[in-house]
Amino acid sequence: MCRRNRGTLPWTSLPLSIYGRYQGLPQGPGGAAQSSDLVMRRMGDVMTNTPKPFELHESGALLHGTKADLAIGDLLVPGRASNYEEGRVSNHVYVTRTLDAAAWGAELAAGDGRGRIYLVEPVGDIEDDPNVTDKKLPGNPTHSYRTREPVRVVGELTDWVGHSPEQIQAMRDGLADLQRRGLAVIYD
């Protein structure tokens, strides 16, 4: 199900992306494929999607994964504490067009709340996320972007299922290993 401000069609939103941000991220069982299902209602339509790496979300929306409890109309702004590295201030808001990347963002974000995926619209320009573009993979197959401008929440995906606990732990272990080896570099 998707809660959405019906006054802002069509969907042109942005999500936060963590998937692929670091070189050498661990792969869960079956690659990083996700066994989750999403049922999203948009203006009376029902759409079902199983998130897969590099697959655009069927809505075409930009997505942002986090644990923050946000409301439609809220702004995500740069200059806040990073969700992924303690003590770091993020100079950008990161977004994606893939449910897989947004799910990773929601699952790996700091905090104790449940992961959430928001549909967002940029207030200003966005650019390819240099942490994944042409670094780990050629081009931008994760459809990951960033902006120094605010991003407005226009909806929330509420019926998505994320990665398995084993996949999440494998990702956390891989990120911790990169940190220990001094390879957890974020170009922000």
Query: Taking a C-beta distance cutoff of 8 angstroms, is the pair 64, 15 a contact?
Result: yes
* Tens-digit pLDDT profile for residues 109-163: 988 889 999 999 999 999 998 887 777 678 888 899 999 999 999 999 988 888 9
Q: What global pTM score does this model have?
A: 0.71
**Which one-letter amino acid corresponds to residue 52?**
K
Domains of the chain, CATH where assigned: 2-180 (3.20.170.40)
> Cα(78)–Cα(152) distance, rounded to whole angstroms?
12
Look up residue 167 and give its two tokens. 């996949």
